[in-house]
A and B are shown apart, each in its own frame.
Chain A
Amino acid sequence: EAQVTQNPRYLITVTGKKLTVTCSQNMNHEYMSWYRQDPGLGLRQIYYSMNVEVTDKGDVPEGYKVSRKEKRNFPLILESPSPNQTSLYFCASSLLPSSGANVLTFGAGSRLTVL
């Protein structure tokens, strides 16, 4: 089944404790992206990647890191989480958007709480 898998789905952590949210897709998509969703603000892009070893900042990259060492994986790293990073996170992938086929497939979401 074609899918985007992200883990963990739920996580409660404390301020400053590094964490990684994994994302993996099995559709051979070049494009991958991380979003956070907060009430009243909609989906905001954190980072995206056009291909292996190519990553770019989205609209709200502060406090986050990503890597794209393999085409299928795009982990989101919070080096020192803070309470304002409490949010619902989605990973998504697609063929290259500029190809005109930019239909995003989303993972099921990761709900992160930072105390």
Chain B
Amino acid sequence: RKEVEQDPGPFNVPEGATVAFNCTYSNSASQSFFWYRQDCRKEPKLLMSVYSSGNEDGRFTAQLNRASQYISLLIRDSKLSDSATYLCVVNWGIGTDKLIFGTGTRLQVFP
């Protein structure tokens, strides 16, 4: 099993749609979770951290399910500008500095 696994997509959705991505992780000791956004050939940028109780930032909602070891990202009212690759990032356990990146899920929003 991969350490961090994501569906590569692409997810093709119309403007205004709601879309959700999941990311599974294999290490139950992982403590920190993030979603990064990467535009084509550009550097990854932090979209949002994922907190245990779930958190929302505008149209974006992130959730953590420790029992099933996955995190999710929900995007409501998709915009053309949301088209990008979304990377799931997980730290590798308590007291470790290692971050593991998923290979990313590509989202394409069309008019």
A binds B: yes
- Residues of A near B8 (CB, < 8 A) are 40
B102 pairs with A42, CB closer than 8 A: yes
Beta-carbon contacts under 8 Å, A5-34 to B: 31
Give complex CA distance A88, B38 in Å. Answer: 13
CB-CB under 8 A from A100, the residues of chain B are: 32
Check A109–B43 contact: CB distance below 8 A.
yes
A48: chain B residues at CB < 8 Å are 97
58-111 of chain A: CB within 8 A of chain B: 88, 90, 96-98, 100, 102-104, 106-109, 111
* A112 within 8 Å of B (CB atoms): no
B1 within 8 A of A: no
Whether A109 lies near B87 (C-beta < 8 A) is: no
Contact of A97 among B41, B44, B91, B102 (CB under 8 A): B91
A100 to B36, CA, bound (A): 16
Number of A-B contacts (CB under 8 A): 54
Q: Please name all residues of chain A whose beta carbon is closer than 8 Å to the beta carbon of B36 when the two chains form the complex.
A: 104
- Inter-chain CA distance A48–B96, complex, in Å, is 13
Interface size for A (C-beta < 8 A) is 24
- Tell me whether B101 is interfacial, beta carbon within 8 Å: yes
Chain A 37-70 per-residue mask, 1 if CB under 8 angstroms from chain B, else 0: 0001111110010100000000000000000000
Binding site for A on B (CB under 8 A): 8, 32, 34, 36, 41-46, 49, 87, 89, 91, 95-99, 101-104
Interface residues of A (CB under 8 A from B): 31, 35, 40-45, 48, 50, 88, 90, 96-98, 100, 102-104, 106-109, 111
